[in-house]
A and B are shown apart, each in its own frame.
Chain A
Amino acid sequence: MKFIHTSDWQIGRTFRFADDDTLGALQAERLEVIRRLGLLARQEGAAHVLVAGDVYEHETPAERTLHQPIERMRDFADIQWHLIPGNHDADQPEGVWARLARSGLPENVTVHREPGPILIDTAHNAWALPAVLKRRHVLTDLTAYMDEAETPPDALRIGLAHGSVVGFGGEVESEHNPVALDRARRAGLAYLALGDWHGFCQIDARTIYSGTPETDRFTTGGGGGGGGGEAVVVTLHGPRAEPEIKRHRTGRYTWKKLDDVVLTSEQDILALDARIRSIAPDNPGAVLVWAAVSGLLSVDDMALYESNILKRLSGAVACLRLTGAPQLSAGLDDLDRFGSGGAVRAAAEHLLAQSEAGGAEGQLASEALQRLFLFWQEMGAQAG
């Protein structure tokens, strides 16, 4: 039996740093990835897609948001979609799932709102054992029932849960929605499909976090693994056989965090430019970068920074998020461009002295000086 394991779609998610256009594109891509998952299933010949929670970002999405993913799934009538509630969309009395149940779901979409074994594939004698979050946070392990849950002999028991495994890789243990590390073994599961962690993570041979299919956070890791953007194609050859796992890239956007970018020279600026452009050289428009910038630049380098990074590179990538900025490093020599005397030169000297004094006022003086250079340059350009 073959199926696609995915989770954490977080439909309706917003991103504070993004401007309206970027936000719209990112949100659209989160929906679009459902189509890509459907296509992947068809391509792989998988009849089922298991979504391990957090289909929705919010407990009360708008009507449109509520129906958008459902309608995407409806388009793939040949694929069975199995959904469980996550911590973001827990199955509360008046929650998203109740709303959807009231309005009716497509036949190929099943929302598992009660724990207990459910036959999902007669041909393979495959039974799903969903863990159902009724609240955002629970302190008990909702997968515990799987140990005792009865299925016919030789059934393929496939666990489906949303939460944090306890005691894995020295991670800080989550207090909420815990999942036992060895649940798959204890409950005799052929596979335990987990959701909640946004990056792919394999706990053991049968216990896997698929991560979100479309990345939604900046990470420093290489490639795009840590932040998600993948789905898992799982092939089960039998109840006791080790599952065959295949990771598949589904995400469109690449999110990248650059810590401690220090700019002190023209080379640094050019390097930064090149580094960002090289993330996806053939498609820089799908790159989101968050760079923490600092350093000291001369007047000319500052102008270069302004033009290369702030103007050109910003336009090249989907989103260039900058925290911090290089400081202007001007000296008396730089002031010579204002002439050897005169009011402008005097003002510049005054500002330079202030900026060298440091502090908030120094910072302000530095910015004022930077602008003075800019104005001077503009005027020179006009005159010249």
Chain B
Amino acid sequence: MILTDLQIEGFRRFASPVRLDGLGPGLNVLSAPNEAGKSTLLAALKAVLMVRSSSKAKPVKDLQPYGGGAPHVAVSFTWKGMDCHLEKQFISKAFTRLMLGAERFEGDQAEEALRNLLGLEEASKGEAAGLWSALLVGQGESFAQPDLNQTGQDSLRSCLEHGVDHATGGAAASAVLSRVRDRLHLLQTAKSGQPTGKYKQALEQEVQAQACLQDLQNRRAALEEDLAALDQARRALREQEDPERKAQDEAELLALRQLRDKLRVADAEEQAARAALATVTHTRNSICDEQERRQERRESQRKLERDAAEMQHDLQALTLRTAQARQRYEESRTQREQAEQQQQAARQALLAVSRRATVLQQRAALDRSKQTLHRAEAACMRLEQARAVLAALQVDEGLIRRVRKAVREQDAAQAALNARATRLTVTLQPEAAGRVLLDGAACPQGEMVLTQAADVQVEGIGQFRITPAVKDHDEALAAADTARQQLQSVLHSAGCQSAEHAETLFEERRQAETRVAEARAAFVASLPSARDERDATLFEALATLRQDLSDQVAALEREQAAFEQDCQSSALAGAPEGRAAQIATETVCSPEAEGGVQTDQTEATLQALQQKARQEEERAARVADEARQRERTEQAAYNAAQNLQDKAEAELRQKQTERDQVGRELAVSAARESDDALAARAAETAQAQAQAEAHVQALKAGRETEQPLSVVETRIMRREQALENARTSIARLREEIKERETRVRVAEGDGLDEKIAEAGRTASRLKLDCEGYERERAALALLDQTLSDAEKTQTERYLAPLVRTLQPAFSTVFPGASLEMDTGFGLCGLTRRTAEEFGRLSDGTREQIAVLVRLGFAELLHARQSPAILVLDDALSFSDSQRLELMFDVLADAATRFQILVLTCRAEAFARLGGRPLSLRPIPQITERR
């Protein structure tokens, strides 16, 4: 099908007629700016192809121009080699005219012919629908995949079935499926599959019926219980109300009461007799007790006396033992005191020896101090001598420096004078010696320097005066003099005759200084306690040394004196015995300052003595310890003996007191009632008791056959209680019977059994109904599922050609991509490297895919030799230039098979598409074909 001409009038902005110029086979492109009427053109095409001219629906009215008018459109096309023409006018004077080659149709006939040609079906209100709505793609529609209605799907399906080997029966399956679902959804909801309608009602009723049945059965059970209880209550009441039984009960009660009264009297009598017996028995018992008590006391008194005598004897023996122990203790104490005295003496002796040794040691130390002091004093003296020598030598460093400076200055002044002086060289003949005089003195030979006018007298010759022509001679001379005088003055102050002398003295002084230093070092070395080497410190140390020495001497003297005094006092104090005393004596008596040899001897002796004294002291200590131990033992023995004695004495006193007490008690008792009187009274009471006992026995024997009172009383109480209970019980039973009867009457009037049977019947019928519904539902659900699955499988089978048709175009735009379509002919996924959902692709990609799918539909129609064109209004606006280029390729290729109209406002971008350029041209009027 190829559109060859399109003319419109009275369409929205085109109130006047316009014509689309340039239409032809292949690709047709209308590039026009926005608002040029492209969309109106498409709307007109849609209207003429798909809307009945008689339609008054709103979309049709919307086609009218603003000023009103009748939309009018004429389209020419070729189909299977025929020239065809279609013309429609809407709203007013509506008409349809269709010419298919030689065939000519008007009005409804024309509409029907058109729909058959295009494969359209009535969708709503005069608007047809089918695959064509997917091929005329309005502005903005190209973004989405075509939304096919049932007709469109059927149309596609029929296209596809064409290519499949045998009929798929897809439509038939859909029809059956829809019936199955209609029927199924009477029983279960479409969404959740929950029971609905009659099934639900039956289920609910069944539950209700079961509940009702249960309720009735409960009521039946209650009734049964009421009936049973009623029967029971009636029987109980009959029994309770039996008058014979009641009379018998009362008579029995009366008899019991009489018996009780009799028993009570007898009881009182017996109790009185028992009380009398108890009194007598008590008196008798107390008498017997008294007698026994007295006997016991006497025996106890005798025993106590025996005990006291024995204890007295024992006490005497104990006293003797105590005295012996005391004596032994006294002896051991004396021994201990002696031992301690001896130990004391030994310790004294040891002390004396020790002190002696101390004195000796002190003395040796004193000698060493004396030597040290002596050495220090000698060093000090040598130091003082050296210092005196040094002090005598005045030429010190400063002085010698001054001397040396004066010498140098004098030498310099002399040299300056000499340099300006006149040289006189005299060479005399040996025979002339003595004959030549210079300034009156023999003239020396050799060169001489003349600083002053000199007179040379040559014997025999005369006198020659030589006056040096020296410049500033006088000043030089004066300087030389000054220098000489200064030297002289310095030497004088140093007490030297000459510079050489001064040097000699200086050398002596340096030696003296060396000696002083040596002497000082010696002095320092001689002072063991010098803290530093300052003179003051040194002399202070010397003084300290001296002081220490004198202190030591004094201490030694004091020690000596004290020791001697001790010796004397101990000698005076008594006569210490034994070897200790001897040692002490030896020590003291050894002479003191008897020379070195003796001192050494004494020390050796002293050590021996000390050793001996120590041994002696230890021995004495041991002896003393033993003595003390013995004393303690004896003391303990003595104390123990003493304690025993004290205890025995105390016990004896206790016994005596007890014995006295018993004696007193016996005396008091006897005074109150004599033993004989007591015995007489005992005999009397025994007799009285025997009598009372006999009385009690007699009473008891009389009552042995009687029932116990408590039993009778309990029985009476029980009977009374039973009677009372019977009265209440009767009232209660009557009440209960009345109540139950009422209930039973009410219940039996209801006809519970009948109702139960009826409810059971209803419930079981409903159950059967439900089971039937469930079977029906299950079968339908299975059928639904099976049919759906089969349809899906079939659809998938016949979708294959569609995919095959779409694939080449897709591969061009999306190289390497494969498609996936759903049963509604939508593309549900695109697999490039991974599967992608359509909804997640970019806008541009989605639009390209949507356009490709429509292209595929057109291809299918074309392949089936149905009329097909594709119109795209402002499509591919989101495509990049590369994709656009690819899409152009695809469109151009498709256009070789069927006509494609592209309406665009992007003239530049679509210039590369090529194709036939279209244009809108106003025309005077629509060319009508009649």
Contacts and interface: CB of A to CB of B under 8 A. Distances in A.
Interface stretch (B167-175, B256-264, B628-636): B167-175
B748 A347 contact: no
Contact of B234 (A14, A93, A340, A347): A93
A343 interface: yes
Interface stretch (B94-102, B360-368, B386-394, B790-798): B790-798
Contact of A59 (B167, B180, B753): B753
A345 B231 CA distance: 73
B761 A343 contact: no
Given A342-B170, A342-B172, A19 B765 contact: yes
Interface string B771-814: 00001001110110011011101100000000000000000000
Given A343-B790, A364-B782, A375 B176 contact: yes
A347 B786 contact: yes
A118 to B, nearest CB: 26
Contacts of A92: 227
Interface residues of B, number: 46
A372 B787 CA distance: 9
A347 B227 contact: no
Contacts of B789: 347, 350
Nearest to B174: A343
Interface in A86-124: 92-94, 99
Contacts of A99: 748
- State the main secondary structure of chain B at its contact with A: helix
Nearest to A13: B757
A339 B169 CA distance: 8
A62 B783 contact: no
A378 B176 CA distance: 10
A341 B172 contact: no
Contact of B754 (A65, A338, A365): A65
Interface string A354-370: 00000000001101111
Contacts of B600: none
B794 A379 contact: no
A347 B167 CA distance: 15
Interface string B744-764: 100111111111011011001
B757 A14 contact: yes
Contact of A61 (B168, B231, B751, B793): B751
Interface in B171-187: 172-173, 175-176, 179-180
B754 A368 contact: no
B664 interface: no
- State the main secondary structure of chain A at its contact with B: helix
Contacts of B757: 12-14, 57-58
A66 B754 CA distance: 11
Given A60-B223, A371-B780, A346 B794 contact: yes
Contacts of B779: 364, 367-368, 370-371
B820 to A, nearest CB: 20
Given A62-B749, A63-B751, A368-B779, A342 B169 contact: yes
B166 interface: yes
B748 A60 contact: yes
A60 B751 contact: yes
Contact of B783 (A61, A65, A372): A372
B753 A57 contact: yes
Contacts of B234: 93
A342 B173 contact: yes
A57 B756 CA distance: 12
A26 B224 CA distance: 29
Interface in A71-96: 92-94
B166 A340 contact: yes
Nearest to A372: B783
B230 interface: yes
B783 A371 contact: yes
Contacts of A341: 166-169
Given A93-B231, A367-B775, A375-B176, A60 B747 contact: yes
A343 B172 contact: yes
A343 B793 contact: yes
Contacts of A12: 751, 753-754, 757
Contact of A343 (B752, B764, B778, B794): B794
Contacts of B782: 351, 364-365, 368
A168 interface: no
A60 B753 contact: yes
Contacts of A344: 169, 172-173, 176, 787, 790
A57 B176 CA distance: 52
A16 interface: yes
B754 A61 contact: yes
Nearest to A378: B179
B778 A364 contact: yes
Interface in B146-176: 166-170, 172-173, 175-176
A287 B747 CA distance: 36
B786 to A, nearest CB: 4
A23 B179 contact: no
Given A62-B751, A346-B790, A364-B778, A16 B761 contact: yes
Contacts of B169: 338-339, 341-345
A364 B784 CA distance: 13
A58 B176 contact: no
Given A342-B168, A371-B779, A347 B751 contact: no
Contacts of A64: 751
Contact of B175 (A94, A345, A379): A379
A260 B634 CA distance: 135
Nearest to B787: A347
Contacts of A16: 760-761, 764-765
Interface in A2-23: 12-16, 18-19, 23
Given A343-B170, A343-B791, A368 B780 contact: yes
A103 to B, nearest CB: 11
A339 B396 CA distance: 158
A351 B765 contact: no
Nearest to A93: B231
Interface in B717-760: 741, 744, 747-755, 757-758, 760
A171 B754 CA distance: 31
A37 B754 CA distance: 24
Given A63-B751, A375-B179, A368 B167 contact: no
B758 A14 contact: yes
Contact of A368 (B168, B179, B786): B786
B155 to A, nearest CB: 18
B463 to A, nearest CB: 183
A292 to B, nearest CB: 16
A343 B168 contact: yes
Nearest to A360: B778
Given A61-B754, A350-B790, A364-B778, A15 B761 contact: yes
A379 B166 CA distance: 21
Contact of B749 (A63, A340, A375): A63
Contacts of A338: 169
A376 B752 CA distance: 50
Contacts of B751: 12, 58, 60-66
A269 to B, nearest CB: 22
Given A342-B170, A343-B170, A375-B180, A351 B775 contact: no
Interface of B: 166-170, 172-173, 175-176, 179-180, 223, 227, 230-231, 234, 741, 744, 747-755, 757-758, 760-761, 764-765, 775, 778-780, 782-783, 786-787, 789-791, 793-794
Which are the 6 A-B pairs with shortest beta-carbon distances? Answer: A342-B169, A62-B751, A58-B753, A343-B173, A347-B790, A367-B779
14 contacts: A60-B747, A94-B230, A94-B741, A339-B167, A341-B169, A342-B168, A342-B173, A343-B172, A344-B790, A347-B791, A351-B783, A368-B782, A371-B779, A379-B176
Given A345-B169, A368-B782, 17 more contacts: A14-B757, A59-B753, A60-B753, A63-B749, A339-B169, A341-B167, A342-B166, A342-B172, A347-B787, A347-B791, A350-B786, A364-B782, A369-B783, A371-B780, A375-B180, A379-B172, A379-B176
